[in-house]
């Protein structure tokens, strides 16, 4: 029996956990499968191991792993598969497959622009937009986040869009704030490219509050769990289920499939 296991990142902030749970519950209503469970990569329960066990207890023999992650980085490429690998010995009758992170998607870019509009501040020619990402050591994140900024600029005619990260490779958020006195923009819209309002959001707000600058700094709502983000999750879930079906058919026809093949399929770029 086919199951879906949603894997969220996890946070120490209780409100962030509840937001993620509510988001998944909305997605479940649009996926026609009886077995759908949720777990967290870290910092919260159920863990991935517990999530898999919950699926198996309901009769799952094939589990599509759906990462609730914005970009394809080490969590999707390594951490989640590494957590699943030892479970194959515990549940030898279960086949696992991997869905894609959200990736670069026009609906997410539209959601970003709506966050700017919701601030009720006018976006003028001398304004600038700063997208803030969580960050990663994976160079693919810098590449993809730069592409997202470029598409926001082109799709909506935003004159200046910059990016910064809270950690990892690429331009640092703290460096951007430290150099604001040399920035000629009169108004800067700051949009956290984050799903939940956790500790990272609080860090952004604290850093901005302590900055002594002449510009008007507008902190927009984070990307969040809006309907367009939900549409992307539902699509990624349906893709993962189709991928799982294809892998199951390969097993029936050829007798095997490889972990490398399933991860490669899952982490291919999801660009629209």
pLDDT for 43-88, tens place per residue? Answer: 999 999 999 999 999 999 999 999 999 999 999 999 999 999 999 9
Q: What's the rounded Cα separation, in Å, for the pair 223 and 248? A: 35
Among candidates 237, 201, 198, which has minimal Cα distance to 38?
237
pLDDT, residue 251, reads: 53
For residue 184, CA distances in Å to 69, 113, 153, 171, 242 come to: 34, 22, 18, 18, 49
Among candidates 93, 10, 8, 89, which has minimal Cα distance to 44?
10
pTM of the model: 0.88
pLDDT, residue 220, reads: 95
Taking only the tens place, the pLDDT of each residue in 148-206 is: 999 999 999 998 999 999 999 999 999 999 999 889 899 999 999 999 867 888 899 89
For residue 191, CA distances in Å to 36, 47, 229 come to: 32, 30, 15
pLDDT surpassing 60 at residue 255: no
- The residues, ordered by sequence, that sit 6+ positions from 30 with a Cβ below 8 Å of its Cβ are 234
Taking only the tens place, the pLDDT of each residue in 213-235 is: 888 999 999 999 999 999 999 99
Among candidates 178, 220, 222, which has minimal Cα distance to 200?
222
Domains of the chain: 2-103+226-266 (3.40.50.1400), 106-219 (3.40.50.1400)
Mean pLDDT confidence for 118-142: 94
Q: Mean pLDDT of all residues in the chain?
A: 90
pLDDT surpassing 60 at residue 272: no
pLDDT surpassing 60 at residue 105: yes
pLDDT surpassing 90 at residue 266: no
For residue 259, CA distances in Å to 77, 198, 262, 265 come to: 11, 33, 5, 10
Which two structure tokens, joined as six digits, stand for 155? 């799709």
């Amino acid at each position: 029996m086919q199951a879906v296991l949603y894997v969220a990142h996890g946070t120490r902030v209780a409100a962030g956990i509840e937001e993620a749970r509510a988001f998944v519950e909305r997605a479940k209503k649009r996926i026609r499968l009886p077995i759908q469970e949720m777990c967290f990569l870290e910092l919260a329960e159920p863990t991935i191991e517990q999530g898999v066990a919950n699926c198996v207890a309901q009769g799952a023999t094939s589990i599509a792993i759906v990462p609730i992650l914005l970009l394809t980085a080490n969590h999707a490429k390594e951490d989640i598969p590494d957590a699943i690998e030892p479970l194959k010995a515990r549940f030898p009758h279960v086949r696992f497959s991997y869905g894609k992170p959200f990736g670069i998607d026009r609906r997410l870019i539209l959601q970003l622009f709506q966050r700017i509009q919701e601030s009720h501040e006018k976006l003028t020619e001398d304004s600038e937009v700063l997208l803030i990402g969580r960050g990663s050591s994976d160079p693919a994140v810098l590449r993809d986040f730069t592409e997202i900024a470029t598409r926001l600029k082109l799709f909506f005619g935003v004159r200046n869009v910059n990016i910064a990260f809270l950690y990892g490779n690429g331009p640092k958020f703290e460096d951007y704030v430290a150099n604001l006195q040399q920035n000629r923009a009169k108004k800067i819209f700051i949009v956290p490219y984050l799903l939940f309002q956790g500790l990272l959001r609080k860090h952004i707000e604290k850093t901005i509050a302590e900055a002594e600058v002449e510009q008007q700094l507008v902190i927009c709502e984070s990307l969040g769990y809006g309907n367009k983000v939900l549409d992307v999750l539902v699509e990624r879930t349906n893709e993962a289920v189709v991928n799982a079906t294809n892998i199951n058919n390969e097993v029936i026809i050829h007798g095997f499939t490889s972990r490398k093949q399933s991860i490669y399929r899952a982490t291919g770029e999801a660009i629209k």
